[in-house]
Chain A
Amino acid sequence: MSGTLPRDGGTSRRLNSLLEVSKALAVQVDLDPLLAVILDKAAEVMEAERSTLFLYDPKENVLRNHVSGELARHAVVVPLGVGISGHVAKTLEPLNVHDAYADPRFNPSFDRDTGFRTRNILCAALLSHDGRLVGVIQLLNKRGNAAFSEDDETLLRAFASIAGVAIDRTRLVAAALESKAIEEGLRLAHDIQMGMLTRRFPKGKFDMHAALEPAKDVGGDFYDVLETDRYIWFTVGDVSGKGPGAALFMAITLTLFRASAAGLEDPSEVLGRMNRALSRDNDRMMFVTVFVARLDRETGQVLYSNGGHNPPYILRADGALENLETSLSPALGAFEEAVYTNAEFALRPGDMAILYTDGVNEAQAKDASFYGIERFEAVLRQLGKNDAESAVTRVVSSVGVFAVGAPPADDLTVLALRVAKD
């Protein structure tokens, strides 16, 4: 963009207005008030009856209008290259149309809709500091009977370069603020999630440990342990999706588990009650897979119920690895009438139960390959001599080594319960 500013009559007044515009635009970081100032000042400085502004939408490669005054209700979308403004957006060169109705690019439908009568148009592209298209500004009808002059054209170039940079800056500011807000929201969600997890585990005859490795962008895994005189209740679950929503849903689920397990006798009742509470008004159809079990300290019998969760493993004292049979009851939250059933297994001295979430088997390496069930089972078979804590650590580090260099896509949870040898 070249050209010198006009030096003829009224020049110093117009230059002063331009300077004022420059100051006004420099302090405004919110888009809407900024656009209002630009439109207002453009009409004033350019001595035009009306000003119109189109913002460039790079996603759709179109211009969208932003009109001053009472015409703002008319939404207009202009493809690049179409009409006066579309032509300017494509060439990035100003266009001075002395007689709008004589120019085939002029689209009179706007006049027809509004009753406004366009005589002449001066149009220029708004560019960012590095020359990207930000929008297009149009001045309609030079006041008095004249058309826009070459001097007007030069002045508009100067005006447009100031306005373009100012508009682009508001977008950068908005994007920076938004990403900061998202980051803080995620950090808060992560803190809520981790703060709810217990770090006290049964030790002694029944040796338990659990770990939850959170995903980069906050998932919704959880585990919990509740001890009563007779029972040890334990659970592992996984909320669908990620982000603050999943973390909050996890917090609700965990609270429901604690409230339900404390007052009810068996795991299927616990799941049923949690499911009914979670299904109510669940328009976003969040759901959570939950495995709930209740170990009887005296008998070693484990009564359990499964709501759509990955079936746990049992590593027997003799080295045999069993994948628990579970019913196909649905995950919680999706279906209020769902029915949950109990099943049972016995843990004998030397046996270990391992609960996990799909963050284990679905962990991905840098080459996008999956950790997978076979690898997981191979690691589990080698845990015969491990206590609960070292068993959990071995699984977590095996996944960590596999997925090294790839950001954790999903939460990963492992819980182990080992019965001491007599």
Chain B
Amino acid sequence: MEIREERRDTVLVLAPLGRVDSNSAGGLETALLGRAKEPRLLVDLSSVEYISSAGLRVFLMLARKVKESGGRLVLCGLGASVRQVFDLAGFSALFAIEPGVDQGVTRLSS
């Protein structure tokens, strides 16, 4: 799946595009976990319209990997339906979540 990558100061911003389901989760996993060593990682989900439980798993793996390497991870730009998937699985409290990229960068820069 396509992922835009951009650096904002010391923060690496990754923005996947499209649907994260069991078909695309594998590609997303490879791409995101390849960046898990970044000390400050912001994943912008504003261009993700759907996320399945297989996709959710990728973010759990990413959170664990980032934590293991001593980095920090923030998610931002969750649309209502994506947010609902995180909420329903009870995972929202396990992630640092900000409304948009600017707030995410600010949080990671502090």
Binding site for B on A (CB under 8 A): 238-242, 284-287, 289, 307-310, 327-331, 334-335, 338, 358, 362, 409-410
Contact = CB atoms under 8 A, between A and B. Distances in A.
B21 to A, nearest CB: 8
Contacts of A289: 53, 88-89
A242 B54 contact: yes
Nearest to A241: B54
Interface of B: 21-22, 25, 52-54, 56-57, 60-61, 64, 87-94
B60 A287 contact: yes
A334 B54 contact: no
A410 B53 CA distance: 11
A328 B84 CA distance: 11
Nearest to A327: B90
B57 A287 contact: yes
Given A308-B88, A308-B90, A328-B90, A240 B56 contact: yes
Contact of B90 (A239, A242, A307, A409): A307
B49 to A, nearest CB: 11
B68 to A, nearest CB: 11
Contacts of A334: 60, 91, 94
A241 B90 contact: no
A249 B86 CA distance: 21
Contacts of B54: 240-242
**Most B Cβ at <10 Å: residue of A308, A338, A410:** A308
**Most A Cβ at <10 Å: residue of B21, B53, B57, B60:** B53
B61 to A, nearest CB: 4
B53 A358 contact: yes
B87 A240 contact: no
Contacts of B25: 241
B89 A242 contact: no
A306 to B, nearest CB: 8
B70 to A, nearest CB: 18
A310 B84 CA distance: 11
Nearest to A333: B60
A238 B22 CA distance: 14
B88 A286 contact: no
B89 A287 contact: yes
Contacts of B90: 307-308, 327-331, 338
B56 to A, nearest CB: 6
Contacts of B53: 238-241, 287, 289, 358
Contacts of B57: 240-241, 284-287
Contacts of A309: 88
Nearest to B56: A240
Nearest to B61: A285
B60 A242 contact: no
B60 A328 contact: no
A310 B90 CA distance: 10
A55 B21 CA distance: 33
Contacts of B92: 328
A244 B36 CA distance: 27
Given A241-B25, A241-B53, A242-B54, A330 B91 contact: yes
B1 to A, nearest CB: 16
A242 B54 CA distance: 8
B94 A335 contact: yes
Nearest to A217: B22
